[in-house]
């Protein structure tokens, strides 16, 4: 226990000695720094005093130089101003002289222009009078020509109206003749159709009677009394069509007058015919074209074949019924057969 206290006291004394040594070192360092700062301050003051003296000397020299330069500049400016004043006075004198000469020339040119304008006015007045007289003569001539043309146009208009009335009468007669021919052709066609319907109805009635007799015999057996012999069936053929009604005779046209008027061309009126299937040659054309160009549509066939849309549609319908072509997505293809 005694040794620990001795060690602790020895360590404490050692620490106190170290602190005293450090404090002495710090005091010495501060003293040295203070002396060094005082020395630097004194040197800086000396340098500052020397700099102030040099700066004052340089300022005096610069001031003297500026005054000297200012004096030289003033003298140069004064010299330049005097030169400018002399030049301006000389230019003003020249400008006055030029202005006087310009005024004199301007007055002379004005007098010449005034005289030329008076001469031009007299010339224009004379020219205007001459043109006025010439214009009056031309107006009188044009007025006479217009009256003559108006008279000629009235005569031509009268002739054209007369010719137009003749053409209208001729066209009226022609339309009446065409309407009569159409009425006759329509009446003949209706009579033919009525006869054909009667023949077909009679044949249908005979066919039904025969079918009824056949069914009765098949169900009830042979009857005791023999039925009347059925009349032989006539072939289903249309009666001969009436000859085509000739068109009306051409109505004589009146002779044309001086002004030719456009005459309407006569329209050929065909008698109405019942709808019939497409002609075999049309079907062959459509079939051969589809065979060479499969996958065509209805809108793509009329132009290359030179047929109407109705003819192409009828031909496609007939070929489809016959099984020669098929339709897929509105496109037509040739039906391949085993023999082909």
Give the pLDDT of residue 287.
Answer: 92
Nearest to 201 by CA among 232, 231, 236, 228: 236
Give the pLDDT of residue 76.
Answer: 92
Does 211 map to a domain? no
| 33 has pLDDT over 90 | yes
| Cα(128)–Cα(130) distance, integer angstroms | 5
N-to-C CA span, the chain: 136
Determine the distance from the C-alpha atom of residue 223 to the mean position of all C-alpha atoms in its chain, rounded to a whole number: 88
Question: Is 260:292 a contact under the CB 8 Å cutoff?
Answer: no
**Percent of the chain scored above 90 by pLDDT?**
49
Question: Is 320:327 a contact under the CB 8 Å cutoff?
Answer: yes
Does 84 map to a domain? no
Residues whose CB falls within 8 Å of the CB of residue 239, separated by 6 or more in sequence, listed in order: 192, 195, 196, 199
Give the pLDDT of residue 300.
Answer: 87
| Cα(168)–Cα(185) distance, integer angstroms | 25
Query: Which CATH number goes with the domain that contains 295?
Result: 1.10.10.10
| Cα(67)–Cα(277) distance, integer angstroms | 128
Please give the C-alpha separations between residue 35 and each of 27, 29, 334, in angstroms, as whole numbers: 12, 10, 127
Determine the distance from the C-alpha atom of residue 287 to the mean position of all C-alpha atoms in its chain, rounded to a whole number: 43
Determine the distance from the C-alpha atom of residue 136 to the mean position of all C-alpha atoms in its chain, rounded to a whole number: 53
Backbone angles phi, psi at 294, to 5 degrees: -70, 160
Please give the C-alpha separations between residue 309 and each of 33, 278, 295, 302, 303, in angstroms, as whole numbers: 123, 12, 17, 6, 9
**Percent of the chain scored above 70 by pLDDT?**
81
| Cα(113)–Cα(124) distance, integer angstroms | 16
Residue 302 is part of which domain span? Answer: 276-340
Nearest to 53 by CA among 68, 40, 61, 65: 61
More confident residue, 278 or 328: 328
| 4 has pLDDT over 50 | yes
Which helix (H) or strand (E) segment is 327 a member of? strand 325-328
More confident residue, 111 or 198: 111
Top mean-pLDDT range of 26-35, 273-282, 298-307: 26-35
Give the pLDDT of residue 251.
Answer: 39
| Cα(340)–Cα(336) distance, integer angstroms | 7
Does 303 map to a domain? yes
As a whole number, mean pLDDT of residues 73-94 equals 91
pLDDT band at 5 (very low <50, low <70, confident <90, very high): confident
C-alpha Rg value of the chain to the nearest Å:
68
pLDDT band at 233 (very low <50, low <70, confident <90, very high): very low
Mean of all residue pLDDT scores within the chain: 81
Does 298 map to a domain? yes
Residues whose CB falls within 8 Å of the CB of residue 296, separated by 6 or more in sequence, listed in order: 289, 290, 331, 332
Does 136 map to a domain? no
- pLDDT per position as a tens digit, 57-69: 988 899 999 999 9
Give the pLDDT of residue 261.
Answer: 39
Give the pLDDT of residue 338.
Answer: 53
Residue with the two structure tokens 């098929």: 326
Backbone angles phi, psi at 331, to 5 degrees: -110, 150
Question: Is 291:334 a contact under the CB 8 Å cutoff?
Answer: yes
Give the pLDDT of residue 206.
Answer: 85
| Cα(294)–Cα(328) distance, integer angstroms | 11
- The pTM (predicted TM-score) of the whole model is 0.25
The total of structural domains in the chain comes to: 1
Nearest to 138 by CA among 146, 148, 127: 146
């Amino acid at each position: 226990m005694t040794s620990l206290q001795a060690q602790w006291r020895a360590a404490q004394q050692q620490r106190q000695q170290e602190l005293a040594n450090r404090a002495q070192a710090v005091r010495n360092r501060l003293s040295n720094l203070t002396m060094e700062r005082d020395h630097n301050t004194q040197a800086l003051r000396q340098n500052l005093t020397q700099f102030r003296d040099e700066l004052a000397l340089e300022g005096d020299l610069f001031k003297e130089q500026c005054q000297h330069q200012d004096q030289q500049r003033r003298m140069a400016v004064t010299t330049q101003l005097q030169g400018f004043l002399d030049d301006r006075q000389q230019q003003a004198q020249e400008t006055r002289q030029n202005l006087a000469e310009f005024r004199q020339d301007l007055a002379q040119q004005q007098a010449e222009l005034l005289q030329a304008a008076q001469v031009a006015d007299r010339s224009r007045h004379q020219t205007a009078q001459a043109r006025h007289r010439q214009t009056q003569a031309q107006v009188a001539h044009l007025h006479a020509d217009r009256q003559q043309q108006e008279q000629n146009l009235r005569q031509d208009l009268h002739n054209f109206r007369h010719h137009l009335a003749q053409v209208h009468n001729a066209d009226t007669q022609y339309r009446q003749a065409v309407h009569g021919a159409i009425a006759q052709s329509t009446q003949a066609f209706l009579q033919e159709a009525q006869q054909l319907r009667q023949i077909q109805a009679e044949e249908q009635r005979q066919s039904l009677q025969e079918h009824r007799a056949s069914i009765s015999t098949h169900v009830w057996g042979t009857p005791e009394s023999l039925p009347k012999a059925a009349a032989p069936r006539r072939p289903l053929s249309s009666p001969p069509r009436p000859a085509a009604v000739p068109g009306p005779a051409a109505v004589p046209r009146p002779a044309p007058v001086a002004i030719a008027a456009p005459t309407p061309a006569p329209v050929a009126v065909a008698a109405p015919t019942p709808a019939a299937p497409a002609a075999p040659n049309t079907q062959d054309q459509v079939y051969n074209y589809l065979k060479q160009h499969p996958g065509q549509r209805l809108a793509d066939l009329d132009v290359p074949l030179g047929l109407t849309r109705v003819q192409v549609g009828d031909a496609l319908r007939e070929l489809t019924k016959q099984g020669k072509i098929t339709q897929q997505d509105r496109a037509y293809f040739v039906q391949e057969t085993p023999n082909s």
